A = this chain, B = another copy of it.
Amino acid sequence: MDTQEGTGMIPAAAEATRDELATPDRCRVVSGVLSRIGDKWSVLVVMLLSHGPKRFSELKRGVGSISQRMLTLTLRGLERDGLVTRTVTPTIPPRVDYALTPLGHSLREPVAALGDWALRHHGSIEASRHDFDQRGSGGADAPA
């Protein structure tokens, strides 16, 4: 179902960037992924769906502060990329269930790794921010 990526790209990479190993296009791919899942809601939705399928309104309640517009757009994007499935039950009122695909589930691992990193270091990060802001606003050598 997968196993045939990286076919035919890398035009001139072979001659110009072989002093490092694999990073030249890798960073672009990472960047692409990040612009996909790096939006405000995609990861939240994936996280919520990792516990099992959920209806539209459940997701909306789960995220809390999302607008139905953005939830729709987010789900469409995830569906388009093959990360979630959308199952419509044409009753009245209609019922739509969203679930992670295997691909969607596989995304949870690296995202969890990032979350792990965040939990471990977000203390130092906030400290660094505070420190940086102090330096910037208070004056460099003569505080009042």
Contact = CB atoms under 8 A, between A and B. Distances in A.
Interface residues of A, number: 67
A11 B114 CA distance: 23
A111 to B, nearest CB: 6
Interface in A75-96: 79-82
A81 B125 contact: yes
A27 interface: yes
Q: How many copies does the complex hold?
A: 2
Contact of A1 (B65, B107, B110, B124): B124
Contacts of A61: 16
5 contacts: A4-B123, A16-B61, A27-B43, A81-B125, A81-B129
